[in-house]
Amino acid sequence: MPPQIPANIIKGTIDYYYLAAFCPPAYLDRFKQHSRGLRESLARGAGVEIGAYLVSVIPEVCWRIVAFHEQTREPDRKRVLTLTQAALNAESNPQALAVFQARMREVAALPERAKPANRLHRRKGCALCAAPCRYGFFTLVSDPVFAPLRKMLEEGAESGRQDVVHALWTYTTSHLWRVMGARQGFVSVDHLGNLAYCLLLLATARSRRPMPEAQLRAFQELNQARIRGWTGREGGKPS
């Protein structure tokens, strides 16, 4: 990787590949269309042509993803190479994107991060997560701004008509829009709901008023029921 590439550009590329991991493969072409501005911005920040930039930075992106899930500074080279090869081909066609997403699931399932005792917010509700630990690195790297979420929840509580799941899904959608840099995105419903829970845990972990476990458990039960009951477009939810 060229040493002159700024750390924030690398972070942005990690964000981009997580967005790709959340996208239903059938929406790949539309995802590429709406994320073009993000890719071009990353390339400009790196000072190179976009194709050359992605090829050069993908190994570093995959190294960091695997290192997070293995909880080590020296991740398994074979695992990094396997994920790198899948990422390099991810935009080729829907089948290649599905392969990349499968490799991401395999990495996320590694026990060094997925076991309850090793999870990112293990004392803040991660034991209740239905998809450990597929979102923790993204929530950290993508720098969510939680003020809008707090405002949504406060307004809902004041009105007495609070739908916490709807508020969290709305906030999560807006966060994905912000990361992509466009008011359009593509995310599977299971990713949307489970990412919403992960963002809630990160917000709770950073708050001086952590949410009691009983409330987290109640939210997660409603959240998972909403995921199961979704009757929208097959394969995912354009956000």
Residues 226 and 124 in one domain: yes
State the Cα angle at 170 between 165 and 175, rounded to 5°.
125
Whole-Å CA distances, 60 to 7, 10, 43, 86, 186: 11, 8, 15, 14, 25
Residues 22 and 101 in one domain: yes
Q: What is the pLDDT of residue 15?
A: 97
d(CA 83, CA 122) in angstroms, rounded, equals 26
Q: What is the pLDDT of residue 36?
A: 92
Q: What is the pLDDT of residue 238?
A: 44
Residues 57 and 77 in one domain: yes
Q: What percent of the chain has pLDDT over 90?
A: 59
159: left (phi over 0), alpha (psi -120 to 50) or beta: alpha
Asked which of 114, 132, 164 is the last residue of a domain, the reply is 114
Residues 97-125 have pLDDT tens digits of: 999 999 999 999 999 999 988 888 877 78
Residues 102 and 124 in one domain: no
d(CA 43, CA 218) in angstroms, rounded, equals 43
What count of residues does the chain have? 239
Is the pLDDT higher at 52 or at 36?
A: 36
Q: What is the pLDDT of residue 160?
A: 56
Asked which of 79, 114, 149 is the last residue of a domain, the reply is 114
The number of domains in the chain is 2
* Mean pLDDT, residues 169-186 taken together: 91
- Report the candidate in 98, 119, 93, 126 with the shortest Cα–Cα distance to residue 194: 126
Residues 46-105 have pLDDT tens digits of: 887 877 888 889 999 999 999 999 999 999 999 999 999 999 999 999 999 999 999 999
Residues 173 and 150 in one domain: yes
On whether the CB atoms of residues 91 and 33 are closer than 8 A, the answer is: no
Range of the domain at 210: 118-238
The structure's pTM equals 0.90
Q: Indicate whether 208 belongs to any domain.
A: yes
Asked which of 84, 114, 144 is the last residue of a domain, the reply is 114
